[in-house]
Structure 1
């Protein structure tokens, strides 16, 4: 399963402008995250990419983009860590960024190994960014779930393999939520409304709805 930039943005909390900016290396540092499925049009992100993007969004709330790039350079080049970014637990604390391991947290900005006290937040859980509620990655709505083992991670109606956008499309075509079960037996009216609500949320990440002056950081 692959995620379009719009769906990857909606599930991670990043803006489309940030995704584009993070795909590119700067004059001094490497790219933040290059999609592992396709970095050329059509650009396609993986489920692991979305998890990593959520980490980057949370780091960006407490650290500058330059500092994040420097930390990732240290992780990849200094420590020779070559796993996908989603495999690492990273945290921003006290002006630096740390690779968090069971016994220590390595300072990736100043390149020292220090034990630090900090609160680790599960990157899959909901959070707020610039006043916007970023939903739980695995359950973005009560009746909408994301499971990499089901349709490769495309959001579906809970307990089914029915993509959320197929249900949302019926509602947008005028089918009442109570009649969705005529088309998809087992999909309740509440589940249909959740699918439509999540579809509206994803659509809010379309370029035309993003503030033109939004910073790319």
Structure 2
């Protein structure tokens, strides 16, 4: 399964502008190069989503400059070459830590053996600029994400039915209580959740004028 920039933005809390900026190569390298495709069509992996959520949460408490410095330390000084999703990172305003089982290493000031007592699960819901970013594995009560089901495509809970197919039916005028005629395993409440999640994803679509300017 691959995720378009719009869906990746909706599931990570990053804006489309941030995604473009973070995948842009600099002298220090990119913050995150999409694992599946970095050129059009840009496509992100499920591991990328986890890494992006980490970056968004770090950005709440640290500047992009500090994030880049921390990644430099992680990749160049500590020689850590795994996908960014493999690491637990946390910020406290003054620095960024690499969290390990028995210690936390300061990646900005390059000090080790610091103990962190409170960590936030990057998969859980959080707020970014007043926007509620949903739980990554359950973005709505009846919409779930499992890398083992359709490669991670958001589906109706307990089924393999993609959320966007159900949302499309509602947008075409099918009443929620009639969704079962098309997908017997999908309840009216699940259909409404699918439509609500689809509206949330579409809220990351750039304004028409911006899209036209980019296309021109």
TM-score (norm 1): 0.94
Match of 2:100 in 1: 101
Q: Does 1:66 align with 2:65?
A: yes
Match of 2:10, SS? helix
Q: Using the alignment, how far apart are the partners of 1:104 and 1:141 within structure 2?
A: 35
Aligned 8 A contact 2:62 2:93 in 1:
no
What are the within-5 Å matches in structure 2 for residues 194-205 of structure 1? Answer: 194-205=193-204
Match of 2:207, SS? helix
Aligned 8 A contact 2:5 2:42 in 1:
yes
Match of 2:164 in 1: 165
Q: Does 1:13 align with 2:17?
A: no
RMSD: 1.6
Match of 1:155 in 2: 154
Total equivalences in the alignment: 211
| More contact order relative to length (CA 8 Å, sep ≥ 6) | 1
How far apart are 1:94 and its partner, in Å? 4.5
Q: Using the alignment, how far apart are the partners of 1:202 and 1:209 within structure 2?
A: 16
How far apart are 1:26 and its partner, in Å? 3.0
Aligned 8 A contact 2:22 2:31 in 1:
yes
Aligned 8 A contact 2:103 2:116 in 1:
no
How far apart are 1:75 and its partner, in Å? 0.4
Match of 1:125 in 2: 124
Q: Does 1:2 align with 2:5?
A: no
Q: Using the alignment, how far apart are the partners of 2:103 and 2:185 within structure 1?
A: 49
Unaligned runs of 5+ in 1: 213-217
Q: Using the alignment, how far apart are the partners of 1:12 and 1:119 within structure 2?
A: 21
Aligned 8 A contact 1:93 1:118 in 2:
no
Q: Using the alignment, how far apart are the partners of 1:62 and 1:198 within structure 2?
A: 27
For residues 133-190 of structure 1, the C-alpha deviation after alignment (integer angstroms, 9 at most, x for no partner) is 0000000000000000000000000000000000000000000000000000111000
Match of 1:54, SS? helix
How far apart are 1:41 and its partner, in Å? 0.4
Match of 1:215 in 2: none
Q: Which moved more, 1:144-153 or 1:90-99?
A: 90-99
For residues 27-72 of structure 1, the C-alpha deviation after alignment (integer angstroms, 9 at most, x for no partner) is 4x22110001000000000000000000000000000001000100
Match of 1:138 in 2: 137
How far apart are 1:25 and its partner, in Å? 2.7
Match of 1:56, SS? helix
